Amino acid sequence: MPLPDGDSSVGHSFGLEFDGVMIKSITEISGLKIEQDVVEFKENGPDGKYQLRRLPGRPKAPDITLTRGLTGDNSFDKWIESSRFGKMSDSRKGGSVIVFDYEGTEVKRYKLTNAWPKSLEVGTLKAGDTSYLSEKLTLTCESIEVQGA
C-alpha cells in the first residue's frame, strides 16, 4: 500500500534482508546512493559554435555502511572472514534494504547485487566510558536498484 499524498516514511522504520534472512538490530544504514559517471561530449554545432553536452555514463557501485550495537552475534565476523580468505562464492550475497511505513508495510526496497563486506570497524574502546559499543560493517556491491513495494 503506497503512502498517502503528502506523507513520508519515517526514518526509523527499515530492515535489512540478505539471502531471504532479516538481519536484526541494525541501528543505522548510510551510503544508499545511486550514481553514475558523466561523459562530456564536445563538438562544433552546425553553426560552427562550440557545444558541450553531458551524457550519462557507467553506473557507479556504492559502499553501504551498516551500524549495530556490539552483540554476541558473529554473523558479521564470519561474513568478513570468508571475504578476507578469498571465498567470494560464499561472500557475495544478494540483499535489500527495506523501508516500512508507520504500519509496518513495505514502502520501498533498495536491492543490492553481489554485496560483500569491505571492512568491519568496532567503536572506540575507552576506559570508564558508559556509552554502548557499536560495530560498523561496510559493504560494497556491484549495483543498487530501487524497487517500489
pLDDT tens-digit map of 90-145: 889 999 998 888 788 888 899 999 999 999 888 888 898 888 888 999 999 999 99
Q: What is the DSSP letter of 90?
A: H
CA separation for the pair 87, 91 (Å, rounded): 6
In tens, the pLDDT along 68-92 reads 888 887 778 888 888 888 888 888 9
Q: What is the pTM of this model?
A: 0.76
Asked if 136 and 96 touch (Cβ cutoff 8 Å), the reply is no
CA separation for the pair 112, 119 (Å, rounded): 17
- Grouping H, G, I as helix, E, B as strand and the rest as coil, residue 66 is strand
